[in-house]
Structure 1
Amino acid sequence: MKISPVALLNKLNIMMLAALKPLGVWGIGALAVIDSSTIPVPIDALLIDYVAHDHRRFLLYCFMAAIGSAVGSLLPYYLGRAGGELFLLKRINRQRYEQMRDRFEKQEFLAIMVPAMMPPPTPVKLFEFAAGVFEMKPLGFFSAIFLGKFVRFLIWAIITITYGPTILHTMTQTMRHHHSLMLGLGGILIVLLLVYVLRKVFDSRRGTPLPVEEE
């Protein structure tokens, strides 16, 4: 019987969770690496579960999850660094590429940190790939991802400690009952974020127009 990609992914998730979750802080760090680099893992839900069972080490859980996410994000970053420039230069000339890179460099830290703070389904890997394409310094990139993810995880931890472990169940039920509304709001937030970042990179007022603005 042929296994569908979704079923295979779910099976891999179950196996990884069974093997790594019992490892505590090291487990959530390893799962965060996997989530950011290759296979999607419900890292936010896992963090909430860890914090709910051990309030005293919430900062350590947030730190390890953020470090793991930053380490895993180096894969899409270096993929962009290795081949992203050639990918772009097949579509635009060298002068245009340099202009785009200059615009990105002026806002690069926020352009990476802000998406990292956003929960799924924000396409963070696209921003990580772009950081590699435009040759953002590895230390600055790593710091932006770490800081954004740490803030995101810390917010989850504080909410969990304040309102208890049932917060995840409540949020899940709310999202299920208002699925269309949540998708709509999430889509609007993602579009606004993408427009903000693209406007900073392709600033038409400074001579580098958005691709859709060109004839």
Structure 2
Amino acid sequence: MKIPASIWIHKANVALQALGVWGLGAMALVDSSSVPMPLDALLIKDVAENHSRFVIYCLIAALGSAIGSLVPYYLGRAGGELILLKRINRQRYEQLRDRFEKQEFLAIMVPAMLPPPMPIKLFELAAGVFEMKPAWFFSAMLTGKFLRFMLWAVITILYGPKIISTMTKAVHDHLGYVLGAGGIVVVLIVVYVVRKLFDRRRGTQFPVED
């Protein structure tokens, strides 16, 4: 008798959870590379049970996710343009390409910060298609995932795990607004950091149009 795939996935989840923090990293790798896993739920559970290790949990989960994301990335590098065009229309494809040309780091980091149903694999594949540098891609994924998991961890510690389900539903219902607001916040942070670096290194003010 053939065993349904859902049962195999459930057994894999149980086995990975038994490995503790390394199981969390392995689940993050599998989730990001191929099979969707309840990664956020497991992270929240681990943080709720052991607050003192929340940074370790977030770092391992982010590292596993970033490593796993290299699979769709290199699929894109190997000729994923046709795969991408099967999932999106030509107009959407052109918009993605323009976004990567203007700010490729943010084009990966911001989607990586958002939970499902954000189609992050679409952006990972696009990063490969548009030949984003591997180190730059990995850094953007690691940063975005780490910030996302840290946010879940801090909220869990402050308010308990139950509030996460409410927030996740709100994100699902208003994904477009969340993505837009997240992009604006990230851009403002980047501009602030660049201005500080410019002032420190050059000893002058960041050029501003009159």
TM-score range, shorter chain: 0.7 to 0.9
Instruction: Look up the match of 2:134.
Output: 138
Structure 1: gaps (5+ residues):
176-180, 197-215
Contact 2:113–2:145 (8 Å) recurs in 1: yes
CA distance in 1, matches of 2:8, 2:29: 15
CA distance in 1, matches of 2:69, 2:163: 28
Identity of aligned residues (%): 60
Write out per-residue CA displacement over residues 77-136 of structure 1, whole angstroms, 9 at most, x where no aligned residue. 0000001256689x99xxxx9xx8676233100000000001100000000000000110
How is 1:22-171 mapped onto 2 (pairs within 5 angstroms)? 22-85=18-81, 104-168=100-164, 171=166
Instruction: Look up the match of 2:193.
Output: none
SS of 1:62's equivalent in the other structure is helix
Contact 1:112–1:128 (8 Å) recurs in 2: yes
Write out per-residue CA displacement over residues 42-62 of structure 1, whole angstroms, 9 at most, x where no aligned residue. 111110000011111100000
Residue 12 in structure 1 maps to residue 3 in structure 2: no
CA distance in 2, matches of 1:124, 1:45: 18
CA distance in 2, matches of 1:37, 1:10: 18
CA distance in 2, matches of 1:41, 1:85: 26
Q: Give the direction of change, closer, same or farther, for the CA distance of 1:156–1:102 in structure 2 (3 Å limit).
A: closer
Q: Give the direction of change, closer, same or farther, for the CA distance of 1:167–1:9 in structure 2 (3 Å limit).
A: farther
Residue 186 in structure 1 maps to residue 181 in structure 2: no
The residue type paired with residue 175 of structure 2 is G
SS of 2:79's equivalent in the other structure is helix
Q: Give the direction of change, closer, same or farther, for the CA distance of 1:18–1:184 in structure 2 (3 Å limit).
A: closer
TM-score (norm 2): 0.73
Instruction: Look up the match of 1:199.
Output: none
Contact 1:105–1:136 (8 Å) recurs in 2: no
The residue type paired with residue 25 of structure 2 is G
CA distance in 2, matches of 1:164, 1:39: 28
